Amino acid sequence: MRILITRPEPDAARFAERLRQRGHEVLCVSLLSVRFFDGPVLTLDRVQAVLATSANGVRALARRAQRRDLPLFAVGPQTAQAARLAGFSRVECADGDANALAEAVPRWAKPEDGLLFHAASAESEGRLAGLLSAKGYTVAAEALYHVVAVEALPAAARDALATIDATFLFSPRSAAAFRDGVVRAGLAKACGRVSAVCISRATAQALHPLVFREVLAAARPNQDALLDCLAILPAR
């Protein structure tokens, strides 16, 4: 099967390798770029734990803070892996989305023990902070990076639409970038021959109004669940 991955590096290359190990041909064309914000060192005073809702949040925090002794509460396994690679000694994983992380935090921390620091993106809607505030926690969220979408679908992605069997989409933002790029390039009809495999229902919804051969949403918002979708994807 020939598969297009549109997520930013280095995560695209890591997922592509997992696909290649299963015998698939993979093309990586990033539609989003991650830009980390420079700034003063974050001392994380009065912080009892860090909240991380993406691997890029972990990477952005690691650039600005030296402390690795604080517990880090990760939204899912890829974020947790990034935290361990960055040197955090205690990493807890909610294995879900922001709702799952908010539900899991009371198992790991008490509101009275101090602040929770959210290593957020500039695009964060503040939903996690709102959910935890309702449970009595004080959340300090700081935008440490932002994600920029390409203005036009790269030539490699435009050409790939004629030959790929599927594209894997890892966030509503990446799905929207793909949708907008396809529409601007006048290639909406080409999607009718392609399967879209999405990490969540929200990601799948962001593809509207494009029509694909089929649209699949992973049972859980992680890479293993995305790979499980391969078993029900027919080759072109």
Give the confidence band of 232 by pLDDT, cuts at 50, 70, 90: confident
- Domain end call among 104, 130, 147: 147
Q: How many domains does the chain have?
A: 2
- Domain end call among 126, 147, 168: 147
- Domain end call among 96, 130, 147: 147
Give the confidence band of 36 by pLDDT, cuts at 50, 70, 90: very high
Instruction: Tell me what pLDDT residue 92 has.
Output: 98
What does the pLDDT look like over 131-160, one tens digit per residue? Answer: 999 999 999 999 999 999 999 999 999 999
Give the confidence band of 231 by pLDDT, cuts at 50, 70, 90: confident
Question: Buried b vs exposed e over 183-204: b needs ≥16 C-beta within 10 Å?
Answer: eebebeebbeebbbbbbbeebb
Query: What is the DSSP pairing of strand 47-52 with strand 115-121?
Result: parallel
Taking 90 as the threshold, does the pLDDT of residue 120 lie above it? yes
Same domain, 142 and 154: no
Same domain, 105 and 143: yes
Instruction: Tell me what pLDDT residue 233 has.
Output: 80
Instruction: Tell me what pLDDT residue 132 has.
Output: 98
Instruction: Supply the mean pLDDT for the chain.
Output: 94
**Under 8 Å CB-to-CB from 110, ≥6 apart: which residues?**
none
Give the confidence band of 125 by pLDDT, cuts at 50, 70, 90: confident
Cα-to-chain-centroid distance, residue 143: 16
Give the confidence band of 9 by pLDDT, cuts at 50, 70, 90: confident
Same domain, 42 and 142: yes
pTM above 0.95, yes or no: no
Distance from C-alpha of 71 to C-alpha of 83, rounded to nearest angstrom = 10
Taking 90 as the threshold, does the pLDDT of residue 107 lie above it? yes
63: closest CA among 85, 36, 24? 36
Assess contact for 36 and 59: CB atoms under 8 A.
yes
Would you call the peptide bond into 154 cis, given omega within 30 degrees of 0 as the criterion? Answer: no
Full residue range of the structural domain in which residue 123 is found: 35-147
Same domain, 129 and 188: no
Same domain, 197 and 225: yes
Same domain, 183 and 84: no
Average pLDDT over residues 93-99: 93
Taking 70 as the threshold, does the pLDDT of residue 236 lie above it? no
Q: What is the CATH number of the domain that holds 97?
A: 3.40.50.10090
Average pLDDT over residues 10-21: 93
Token pair of 151 as six digits: 């203005």
34: closest CA among 13, 59, 15? 59
Give the confidence band of 235 by pLDDT, cuts at 50, 70, 90: low
